[in-house]
Structure 1
Amino acid sequence: MFLEGQPGARLWRGGTPPPPDDLPPERVARFTSSFGVEAYQRLRRSTAVVIGAGGTGSVAIPMLARAGVGKIVIVDSDLISPSNLERTHASFPEHIETPTLKAALARDHVRRIDPDIEVIAFDGRLPQRSIVEEVAQADVLLGCTDQHTSRLVLSDMARRYLVPAIDCGGLIEGANGLVTGQIIQLVLFRPHDPCPRCRAWSMICECARS
Structure 2
Amino acid sequence: MTDITRYHRQTLFHPIGEVGQEKLANKHVLLIGCGALGSSAAEMLARAGIGELTLIDRDYVELTNLQRQHLFTEEDVKNKIPKVIAAVNKLQVINSEITINSVVMDATADNLADYIKKADLIIDATDNFDTRFVINDLAHKYRVPWIFGACVGSSGMTFTIIPGQTPCLNCLLKVTPVFGATCDAIGVIGPAVQMVVTHQVTEAIKILIDDTKHIRSQLIIFDLWNNHYQSIDVSRSKQANCTSCGGELPTFPSLSYQNQTKSEVLCGRDTVQIRGKQYSLGDLASMLSKYGEVQTNAFLVSVVIDSMRLVFFHDGRTFVHGTSSIEEAKKLYYQVIG
Do the structures match in fold with TM over 0.5?
yes
CA contact (8 A) 2:57 2:107 kept: no
Point out which structure has higher relative CO (alpha carbons under 8 A, 6+ apart).
1
Of 24-33 and 50-59, the range deviating more from structure 2 = 24-33
CA contact (8 A) 1:52 1:74 kept: yes
Q: TM-score, normalised by structure 1?
A: 0.77
Alignment-derived partner of residue 119 in structure 1: 100
Alignment-derived partner of residue 198 in structure 1: 171
The residue correspondences of 1:136-155 to structure 2 (distance < 5 A) are 136-155=117-136
The residue correspondences of 1:4-153 to structure 2 (distance < 5 A) are 22-34=1-13, 35-127=16-108, 131-153=112-134
TM-superposed CA distance for 1:156, in Å, is 1.1
Secondary structure at the aligned position of 1:56 is classed as helix
Q: Distance in 2 between matches of 1:117 and 1:202?
A: 40
Q: TM-score, normalised by structure 2?
A: 0.49
Q: After superposition, what is the alpha-carbon deviation per residue over 1:12-68, rounded to whole angstroms, capped at 9, x for unaligned?
A: xxxxxxxxxx14332200111112111000000000000111111111001100101
Percent sequence identity over aligned pairs: 26
Which sections of structure 2, spanning at least 5 residues, go unmatched? Answer: 178-235, 237-338
Which sections of structure 1, spanning at least 5 residues, go unmatched? Answer: 1-21, 173-181
TM-superposed CA distance for 1:128, in Å, is 6.1
Letter in 2 for 1:112: V
TM-superposed CA distance for 1:86, in Å, is 0.9
TM-superposed CA distance for 1:203, in Å, is 4.2
The residue correspondences of 1:149-164 to structure 2 (distance < 5 A) are 149-164=130-145
* Structure whose CA Rg is larger: 2
CA contact (8 A) 2:71 2:90 kept: yes
Q: Does residue 185 of structure 1 match 2:157?
A: yes
Q: Distance in 1 between matches of 2:169 and 2:2?
A: 41
Of 93-102 and 43-52, the range deviating more from structure 2 = 93-102
Q: Distance in 1 between matches of 2:150 and 2:174?
A: 20
Q: Distance in 2 between matches of 1:51 and 1:32?
A: 28
Secondary structure at the aligned position of 1:187 is classed as strand
Q: Distance in 2 between matches of 1:57 and 1:113?
A: 16
